[in-house]
Amino acid sequence: MRLPPNAVDDPRLRERRHVFGDRVDAGAALARLLERHRDRDAVVLAIPAGGAAVGRAVAAALGLPLDVAVVSKITLPWDTEAGYGAVAFDGTVRLNRPLIDRLGLRDDQIAEGLARTRARVEGRVRALRGDRPMPRLAGRPCLVVDDGLASGFTMRVAVAALRAAGATEIVVAVPTGHLDSVVQLAGEVAEVACSNVRSGLRFAVAEAYEQWRDVDDAELVDLLRAGD
């Protein structure tokens, strides 16, 4: 397995499944790859919901402030786990046009999904940020954390939104990710840290974890408040 020079992983975890107990355990492992940021003026930005527990663990281990970058995928009408686009906290929208064409989604289905996702993002921003502005991003490392990287589409939308908000050094940090997505993102950001890199046709983020469950919004708020 060959990674770009600005991508770092744990070679002991390559191509393995069920390597983390839960998201907290995964965050602790990920923090070890990010140790060089400990004494820097960096900020951890968790993508909810799955990235909240990981981001909290990373921030706690490195003694860094924790904040949130709300991004949500636009899910298919018949599958709430699969997405064909994403909406970010600043209104940034990106659609996966090749997938939309392949699936034959109608314009009205796309419009409905986009409206639903925008409302979800706006609600989460109000619940998690309130009136607080984004932290200062320019001139400091911004560690964008999620619980995994499959296609990487949602993360790329997060990166675009953070760059538009002024971030100049973006580090993508995930416990597990597909090799192709790690390589692609490494070409777009300053650094990619991914403890467990896997390749192959079949990839599921959940397969890196022994314990995997959804995080509801009430728990999400508690997780992020605990990082204050």
Looking at residue 145, its amino acid is: V
Closest of 177, 190, 68 to residue 141, by C-alpha: 190
On the question of pLDDT at 131 being above 90, the answer is no
Token code pair at residue 217? 């919004």
Interval 210-217 mean pLDDT: 80
Sign of the alpha-carbon dihedral angle for 168, 198, 178, 67 = negative
Q: Mapping DSSP to helix (H, G, I), strand (E, B) and coil, where does residue 21 land?
A: coil
Question: Which runs of E-coded beta strand occur in the chain?
Answer: 7-8, 43-46, 66-68, 71-76, 79-88, 93-95, 141-145, 169-178, 191-198
Give the pLDDT band of residue 3 (cuts 50, 70, 90): very high
DSSP string, 121-160: HHHHHHHHTTTPPPPP-TTSEEEEE-S-BSS-HHHHHHHH
Burial class (CB in 10 A: 0-12, 13-18, 19+), 79: exposed
Architecture of domain 7-70+137-226: 3-Layer(aba) Sandwich (3.40)
**What is residue 61's predicted lDDT score, i.e. its pLDDT?**
96
On the question of pLDDT at 105 being above 60, the answer is yes
Give the pLDDT band of residue 226 (cuts 50, 70, 90): low
**What is residue 228's predicted lDDT score, i.e. its pLDDT?**
52
Interval 22-47 mean pLDDT: 95
pLDDT in tens, 71-100: 999 988 888 777 899 999 999 999 999 999
CB atoms near residue 157 (< 10 Å): 22
From 94-108, 180-194, 206-220, the region with the lowest mean pLDDT:
206-220
Give the pLDDT band of residue 4 (cuts 50, 70, 90): very high
**What is residue 39's predicted lDDT score, i.e. its pLDDT?**
84
CB atoms near residue 80 (< 10 Å): 9
Tell me the C-alpha distance between 61 and 48, whole Å: 19
On the question of pLDDT at 49 being above 90, the answer is no
Tell me the C-alpha distance between 111 and 132, whole Å: 29
**What is residue 55's predicted lDDT score, i.e. its pLDDT?**
94
* Domains of the chain, residue spans: 7-70+137-226, 73-128
Which distant-in-sequence residues (6+ apart) come within 8 Å of 224 by Cβ? 46, 48, 52, 56, 66, 68, 128
**What is residue 17's predicted lDDT score, i.e. its pLDDT?**
96
Token code pair at residue 201? 């046709």
Give the pLDDT band of residue 223 (cuts 50, 70, 90): low
Interval 192-196 mean pLDDT: 98
From 12-26, 131-145, 206-220, the region with the lowest mean pLDDT:
206-220
- The more confidently predicted of residues 182 and 49 is 182
Q: What is the mean pLDDT of the chain?
A: 91
Interval 175-179 mean pLDDT: 97
Is the distance from CB of 78 to CB of 51 less than 8 angstroms?
Answer: no
Interval 44-70 mean pLDDT: 93
